[in-house]
């Protein structure tokens, strides 16, 4: 259930940003999830409901959008996007891919009042 | 209030604001509200603490090892054997992460090596903030090794950088060779894969080759060792790996505070 601690981070970022962007309520939150993040969407939505209760994000819709990660092939040097771990290079078929250093979990668009 | 971050203890750090430099506003969205693109990294708060921990380890020449595995893989047994083998030559300390109880820390203390137990409560992993608090409560083993035994879980701990120098994943042969396939991120982020309970290999269907194949698809060049903490088979290679990391960390010992430009 690391989903709950991630959702607590989401709520904290939303509260922090409310001071910068001057909003009082969040209607929609887009979460960009890369292949390394290992989050379970249903658990994420459930946890977000729990973590946002009583905050400015209570009742907001959580949209989970899978995004690819960037990787470079150690055999053919081809750079590209990968949708999941243990995927082969689309150019030469090698599994020796080096991934970007990023957890791949970002808050994307939010819709606020 | 906590000295590291002024957070009041318990909850994670929310005081660094590097995570969202590119917020952009555009018009109205499908729900009728104002749309802002935050592009904020959820793991940035953890990453900030991990950087701080890493810098502390580097300055003190500490080799910090984050040990991840599922429950019952033999983490604590291996750790106890390792501490017994190295304690006379290398200063060491242990941070134990568990949801409840002090059992593991007691097993560690029996070796004479200091151990601090972090009880994570409902949380299934250690994060860099919890570790930074633990570091305030303990004496860092300067020019030595800090073992961080993560909560027994192959999924959640994988996402949280603690600031460690190396990450070791332990997989016991009784768990099956398909685990890298099922829990890829733990293996993707590892520096060393330790296959434990080698003495049980004759009794289980575990293909070391297949496991190694999968693990290498997730992390090309991942080091892999096969050992039994019980019989001692393979322990020598493991201890050599540990010592190499220790010597490298020791070389970066810089006791003085960095000069701030």
pLDDT digit string, tens, across residues B56-101: 999 999 999 999 999 999 999 999 999 999 999 999 999 998 877 7
Rounded CA-CA distance B168/B193 in Å is: 6
What is the DSSP code string of B201-260?
A: GGGS---HHHHHHHHHHHSTT-EEEE--TTT-TTHHHHHHHHHHHHHHHHTT---SPPPP
Which numeric CATH code is attached to B46-250?
3.40.50.300
Residues of A in contact with B39 (CB under 8 A): 106-108
pLDDT digit string, tens, across residues B28-40: 888 788 999 999 9
Looking at residue A10, its pLDDT comes to 96
pLDDT digit string, tens, across residues A58-97: 999 999 999 999 999 999 999 999 998 889 999 999 999 9
| pLDDT of B9 higher than 60 | no
Q: With left for phi above 0 and alpha for psi between -120 and 50, is residue B239 left, alpha or beta?
A: alpha
CB B196 within 8 A of CB B170: yes
pTM, two decimal places: 0.88
To the nearest whole Å, the CA of B213 is away from the closest chain A CA by 10
| pLDDT of B252 higher than 80 | yes
Rounded CA-CA distance B57/B141 in Å is: 9
Residues of B in contact with A38 (CB under 8 A): 155, 158-159, 184-185
Using CB atoms, pick whichever of A85, A105, A109 lies closest to residue B218.
A85
| pLDDT of B4 higher than 50 | no
To the nearest whole Å, the CA of A83 is away from the closest chain B CA by 13
Looking at residue B33, its pLDDT comes to 87
Interface pTM, i.e. ipTM:
0.88
Average pLDDT of the segment spanning A18-33 = 96
- Determine the length of chain B: 261
CB B127 within 8 A of CB B155: no
Looking at residue A1, its pLDDT comes to 63
Write the DSSP symbol of residue B125. Answer: S
Using CB atoms, pick whichever of A6, A27, A108 lies closest to residue B39.
A108
To the nearest whole Å, the CA of A64 is away from the closest chain B CA by 14
Average pLDDT of the segment spanning A5-26 = 95
| pLDDT of B12 higher than 70 | no
Using CB atoms, pick whichever of B17, B40, B160 lies closest to residue A107.
B40
| pLDDT of A38 higher than 90 | no
Q: Where are the domains of chain B?
A: 46-250
pLDDT band per the 50, 70, 90 thresholds, residue A49: very high
Domains of chain A, earliest start first: 2-68+102-112 (3.30.2320.50)
Looking at residue B18, its pLDDT comes to 42
Average pLDDT of the segment spanning B107-118 = 94
> How many helices (H) and strands (E) would you count in chain B?
8, 9
């Amino acid at each position: 259930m690391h989903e709950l601690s991630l959702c607590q981070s989401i709520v904290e970022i939303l509260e922090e940003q409310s001071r910068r962007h001057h909003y009082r309520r969040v209607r929609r939150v887009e979460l960009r999830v890369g292949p390394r993040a290992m989050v379970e969407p249903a658990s994420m939505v459930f946890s977000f409901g729990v973590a946002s209760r009583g905050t400015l994000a209570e009742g907001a819709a959580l949209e989970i959008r899978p995004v690819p990660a960037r990787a470079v092939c150690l055999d053919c040097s081809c750079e590209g996007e990968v949708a999941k771990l243990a995927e082969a290079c689309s150019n030469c078929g090698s599994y020796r891919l080096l991934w970007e250093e990023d957890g791949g979990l970002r808050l994307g668009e939010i819709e606020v009042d | 209030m906590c000295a590291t971050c002024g957070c009041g203890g318990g909850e994670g750090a929310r005081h660094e604001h590097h995570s969202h430099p590119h917020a952009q506003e555009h018009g109205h969205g499908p729900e009728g509200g104002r749309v802002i693109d935050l592009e904020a990294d959820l793991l940035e708060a953890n990453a900030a603490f991990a950087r701080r921990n890493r810098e502390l380890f580097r300055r003190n020449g500490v080799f910090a090892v984050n040990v991840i595995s599922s429950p019952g893989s033999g983490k604590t047994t291996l750790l106890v054997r390792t501490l017994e083998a190295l304690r006379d030559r290398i200063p060491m300390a242990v941070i134990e992460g568990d949801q409840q109880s002090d059992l593991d820390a007691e097993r560690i203390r029996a070796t004479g090596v200091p151990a601090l137990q972090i009880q994570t409560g409902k949380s299934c992993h250690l994060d860099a903030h919890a570790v930074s608090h633990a570091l305030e409560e303990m004496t860092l083993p300067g020019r030595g090794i800090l073992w961080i035994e993560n909560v027994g879980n192959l999924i959640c701990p994988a996402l949280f950088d603690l600031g460690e120098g190396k990450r070791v994943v332990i997989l016991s042969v009784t768990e099956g060779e398909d685990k890298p396939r099922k829990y890829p991120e733990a293996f993707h982020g590892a520096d060393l894969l330790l296959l434990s309970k080698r003495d049980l290999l004759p009794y289980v269907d575990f293909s070391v080759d297949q496991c190694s194949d999968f693990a290498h698809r997730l992390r090309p060049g991942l080091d892999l060792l096969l050992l039994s903490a019980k019989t001692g088979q393979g322990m020598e290679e493991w201890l050599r790996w540990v010592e190499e990391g220790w010597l490298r960390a020791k070389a970066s010992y810089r006791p003085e505070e960095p000069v701030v430009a």
